[in-house]
Amino acid sequence: MASEQRANLKPLSLHVPEPKFRPGDEVDFSDIEVPAADAAKRPDVGAHPDTFHELSYGLVRVLDENDRAVGQWNPRLDADVLRRMLRNMAMTRAFDERMFRAQRQGKTSFYMKSTGEEAVAVGAAMALASDDMCFPSYRQQGILITRNYPMIEMMNQIYSNKGDKLQGKQLPIMYSSKEDGFFSISGNLATQYPQAVGWAMASAAKGDTRIAATWCGEGSTAEGDFHSACTFASVYRAPVILNVVNNQWAISSFSGFAGAEATTFAARAIGYGIAGLRVDGNDALAVYAATLWAAERARTNQGPTLIEHFTYRAEGHSTSDDPTGYRSAQEYSNWPLGDPVTRLKNHLIALGEWDEERQEAMDKECADLVRKTQKDAEKNGILGHGLHQPLDTLFEGVYEEMPWHLREQQQQMMAEEEASGRPWARK
Amino acid sequence: MNMIQAVNSAMDVMMARDDNVVVMGEDVGYFGGVFRATAGLQNKYGKQRVFDTPITECGIIGVAVGMGAYGLRPVPEIQFADYIYPALDQLVSEAARLRYRSAGEFTAPITVRSPFGGGIFGGQTHSQSPESIFAHVSGLKTVIPSTPYDAKGLLISAIEDNDPVLFFEPKRIYNGPFDGHWDGPSKNWSKHPGGEVPTGYYRIPLGKANTVREGQDVTILAYGTMVHVCQNVVKETGVDAEIVDLRSIVPVDIEAIEESVKKTGRCMIVHEATRTMGFGAELSALVQERCFYHLEAPVTRVTGFDTPYPHSLEWAYFPGPVRIGEALKNIMKDA
């Protein structure tokens, strides 16, 4: 019902954010401010949370336009570590390429690439201790690759085959590895955030020295769990690193729908009393340095850090998504922070520790390893081709012990399958 | 002991036995809880194990799930069951599914305590009985005690259980059993055998019902406050009813239910929660499927109405002696 118009006031209007570029548009990112690589100051790890205003609105960067590592955040990694970092990122990319193709070939139902965001996962994983607990979202496969989780296990999970440790119970890419400090991925967004804080609180309460780290996309920061987690993390000074991967897109919604028109995601930390860092997410050294800083802060009982990784989702949201329907195809090629793999490669070349031939050889080695592993994984079966888990495992693990009603349903299902004569009845 | 003291004692016993048991929730720490259920625990076990939380139910349960993944055994409190809904995503999507989705790598051995049920002029948001919401979720267990003795034994079992358990405490009977006569004198637990509670460790198994009155003519399935209301109605009407206190609604004790209904041939289900899709519907379906040829009358449900819980008209809403008495008369009319 319209109320009486007030003659002296203009009618209100609702602001609905709109991304700058839609399909077919020319892309101009000149308004994105990219500070000089040595601009950001590196504070003491014990700095009070109210001193992070500049770091929350600025951008921690290490690699400059001449591919040199500069500034206070330069982690001064030696060439072997840099090469390992580059290889982890290249391997993540090769894995993504291969698994995306496997989905297109009908070998599995679903896949999600992390192209353009490899530095966020690999850089962080290399800065954490191997027994620190990660609570990832679905786009940090680089953590598992960095932690040397067997690639065949990742593929078995993607194929839901008889080798799948998760018994075919989870959608592809929802990995879990307790041994490797990689918490079971959930489809429900941001739920891992308070869980990571709880894990960190438990570690602190038990006098442990391990810390937790969690990741969500910028879109997921709109969930209530994000707020709960930041509140808990701040209140109890939990030893946790809260990573926000701002890749500009939440499926088809640009970051403005999560609040990016008005502020940065790192700046959310200010209101919670958490140290906030905004980092060039395509600069593996900046991600590494920021994570190392936050880990030290957490490990010395000085509380949580929220890190926004400013990056760009180079590919579609998933194999079920076509980004040409909502954004300009030029966006990624014009992205001002470039490509994380290329930037790290160029840095190593600039150091005289790498060259294009070695890069080519390494890329081929990664692709070959992925292909060979894929062949091995496919011996365990691909989705829907019979080499699945025994049917009755469907009922296992709902509870520690199977209650009567599940036992009954299990028996009923098995009897039905036996009677059906269908191939499924073969256990 | 009254039920609060029994609940307190269960947590005390478990915290002393297991360093990994931690208690958390709004006002549970220094203050000891708005119902005093955690009184004295922080003082005894320290702030690392008993602590106040921010007012965020999704945070409380999410954090508890993370603590469980670390290896602790958290006992989070939700101040009123009416306020558990902000935590639904964490309970349904996370706690309930964690073991299944990780093929047993990670588990959520958490016990969510929450005062529930009406009969206290709690109005819409301090009276609800949301048990069927959780009963519908595979992976969760739901427990509702009816006496201090049961509350302690069941809570100890719940805390020791490696699955997530919803532990709903009927706040109407925190201080004494309630016979349904709201205008009568209030009773305390001191004269009720269920108020005799050992100070040490004991357990009552989850998933096992308790036949609180043996009878031949009709089986009454109830839990929580309604067990006492039913006991009194049976006494007043003189119907020889068998009253089965379910104690756990998931997993439910199907053997006890089947055995009783096959003996009596009649089944009446009583709960405070609203009727449509309430847990009574599941019980009714189970009885119909398993005891069909033994039934001499339709299965009857006596429940709260399909309305939000009212304030001033509470005693018209609450399934009390009049409504249960009429239903009993009706189910017995052809006997």
Which ipTM score applies to this complex? 0.97
- What is the residue-averaged pLDDT of chain B? 98
- List chain A residues with CB under 8 Å of B61: 194
Among A399, A404, A405, A407, the strongest candidate for a mutation testing the B interface, having the largest count of B CBs within 10 A, is A399
Average pLDDT of span B232-257: 98
One-letter-per-residue 3-state SS of A93-136: HHHHHHHHHHHHCCCCCCCCCCCCCHHHHHHHHHHCCCCCEEEC
The answer on B164 and B250 residing in a single domain is no
Amino acid at A277: L
Residue B335 confidence class, pLDDT cut points 50, 70, 90: confident
Q: Which residue shows structure tokens 């119970």?
A: A169
Tokens linked to A239: 């030893």
Tens of pLDDT along A242-257?
A: 999 999 999 999 999 9
Q: Please check whether residue B194 lies inside any domain of the structure.
A: no
Is B107 at the interface with chain A, CB within 8 A? yes
Number of domains in chain B: 2
Catalytic residues of B: 126
| Beta-strand relationship, B165-170 and B210-213 | unpaired
Q: Strands, DSSP E only, in chain B?
A: 21-25, 50-52, 73-77, 111-116, 141-143, 165-170, 210-213, 218-222, 241-245, 248-250, 267-274, 300-304
- Pull the structure tokens for residue A42: 């590196």
Query: Quick one: B44 and B161 in the same domain?
Result: yes
Query: For position A262, what pLDDT does the model report?
Result: 95
Quote the CA–CA distance of A277 and A294 in Å, as a whole number: 9
- In whole angstroms, what separates CA A418 from the centre of its chain? 43
pLDDT per position as a tens digit, B261-308: 999 999 999 999 999 999 999 999 999 999 999 999 999 999 999 999
Quick one: pLDDT band at residue B5, thresholds 50, 70, 90?
Answer: very high
* Contact B300/A at CB under 8 A: no
Residue-wise pLDDT for A27-54, tens only, equals: 999 999 999 999 999 999 999 999 999 9
Domain presence at residue B190: no
- Tell me which chain A residues have a C-beta less than 8 angstroms from the C-beta of B105: 165, 176-178, 184
pLDDT for position A421:
82
In a shared domain, residues B137 and B286: no
Which residues sit opposite B23 in a β-bridge? B50, B75
Q: B86 and B223 share a domain?
A: no
Token digits for A124? 């962080």
């993390």: which residue's tokens? A233
Going from the C-alpha of A25 to that of each of A19, A22, A328, A336, the distances in angstroms are: 11, 6, 6, 17
Neighbours of B312 (CB within 10 A): 8
pLDDT < 70 regions, chain A: 1-3, 423-427
Q: Is the pTM of this model over 0.90?
A: yes
Same domain? For B21 and B133 the reply is yes
Same domain for B169 and B245, yes or no, is no
CB contact under 8 A, A178 and B106: yes
Long-range contacts formed by A51-56: CB under 8 A, 24+ apart: A52/A269, A52/A270, A52/A275, A52/A276, A52/A277, A53/A267, A53/A270, A55/A266, A55/A276, A55/A277, A55/A278, A56/A264, A56/A266, A56/A267, A56/A269, A56/A270, A56/A276, A56/A277, A56/A278, A56/A308
Rounded to the nearest angstrom, the minimum Cα separation between B104 and chain A is 6
Q: Is B208 exposed, middle or buried (0-12, 13-18, 19+ CB in 10 A)?
A: middle
Among chain B residues, CA nearest to A206: B48
Determine the distance from the C-alpha atom of residue A295 to the mean position of all C-alpha atoms in its chain, rounded to a whole number: 18
Chain A: give the shortest CA distance to residue B54, in Å: 7
Do B127 and B263 lie in a common domain?
A: no
Contact check, Cβ <8 Å, A198/B65: yes
Final residue of a structural domain among B117, B144, B173: B173
For residue B198, tell me if it sits in a domain.
Answer: no
- Low-confidence winner among A251-255, A384-388, B136-140, B237-241 (lowest mean pLDDT): A384-388
Confidence at B182, pLDDT banded by 50, 70, 90: very high
Evaluate whether residue B203 is within a structural domain: no
Q: What is the per-residue pLDDT for A400?
A: 98
pLDDT band at B211 (very low <50, low <70, confident <90, very high): very high
Contact A345, A86 (CB under 8 A): yes
Q: Is the dihedral of CA A218, A223, A224, A229 positive or negative?
A: negative
Same structural domain, B304 and B237: yes
Question: At B292, which CATH number?
Answer: 3.40.50.920
Mutating which of B15, B22, B63, B78 best tests the A interface, going by the most A Cβ atoms within 10 A? B63
- pLDDT given for residue A418 in this prediction: 87
CB-based contact (8 Å) between B123 and chain A?
no
**Which of B122, B151, B173 is where one domain is finished?**
B173
Residue-number span of the structural domain to which B106 is assigned: 3-173
| B147, part of any domain | yes
How far is residue A151's CA from residue A157's CA, in Å, rounded to a whole number? 10
Q: What is the pLDDT of residue A424?
A: 67
HEC assignment per residue over chain A:
CCCCCCCCCCCCCCCCCCCCCCCCCCCCCCCCCCCCCCCCCCCCCCCCHHHCHHHHHCCECCECCCCCECCCCCCCCCHHHHHHHHHHHHHHHHHHHHHHHHHHCCCCCCCCCCCCCHHHHHHHHHHCCCCCEEECCCCCHHHHHHCCCCHHHHHHHHHCCCCCCCCCCCCCCCCCECCCCECCCCCCCCCHHHHHHHHHHHHHHCCCCCCEEEEEECHHHHCHHHHHHHHHHHHCCCCEEEEEEECCEECCEEHHHHCCCCCCCCCHHHHHCCEEEEEECCCHHHHHHHHHHHHHHHHCCCCCEEEEEECCCCCCCCCCCCHHHCCCCCHHHHCCCCCHHHHHHHHHHHCCCCCHHHHHHHHHHHHHHHHHHHHHHHHCCCCCCCCCCCHHHHHCCCCCCCCHHHHHHHHHHHHHHHHHCCHHHCC
In this prediction, residues B256-261 reach a mean pLDDT of 98
Half-sphere exposure (CA, 13 Å, Cβ side) for A335?
23
Token pair belonging to B246? 């379910």
Q: State mean pLDDT over B203-213.
A: 98
B261 and B161 within one domain: no
State whether A398 and B207 contact (CB < 8 Å).
no
To probe the interface with B, which of A174, A201, A389, A405 has the most B CB atoms within 10 Å? Answer: A201
Q: B89–A188: do the CB atoms touch at under 8 Å?
A: yes
Chain B residues with CB under 8 Å of A400 CB are: 99, 107, 161-163
Q: Which of B59, B70, B252 minimises the CB distance to A194?
A: B59
**Measured distance CA(A139)–CA(A157) in Å, rounded:** 15
Same-domain status, B158 and B277:
no
Q: Are residues B280 and B155 in the same domain?
A: no
Q: Pick B66's closest partner by Cβ from A174, A196, A399.
A: A196
Distance from the A342 Cα atom to the nearest Cα atom in chain B, whole angstroms: 35
Asked if residue B94 is part of any domain, the answer here is yes
Q: Examine the domain organization and report whether B226 and B294 are in the same domain.
A: yes
Q: Is B175 within 8 Å of chain A by CB? A: no
Is residue B263, in this structure, part of any structural domain at all? yes
Vertex A308: Cα angle to A305 and A311 (nearest 5): 155
CATH code where residue B124 lies: 3.40.50.970
Of B66, B106, B163, the CB nearest to A202: B66
For residue A165, the chain B residues in CB contact (below 8 A) are 103, 105
Does B84 reside within a domain?
yes
Q: Can you tell me the distance from the alpha carbon of A285 to that of A38, in angstroms, rounded to the nearest whole number?
A: 13
Q: What is the DSSP letter of B293?
A: G
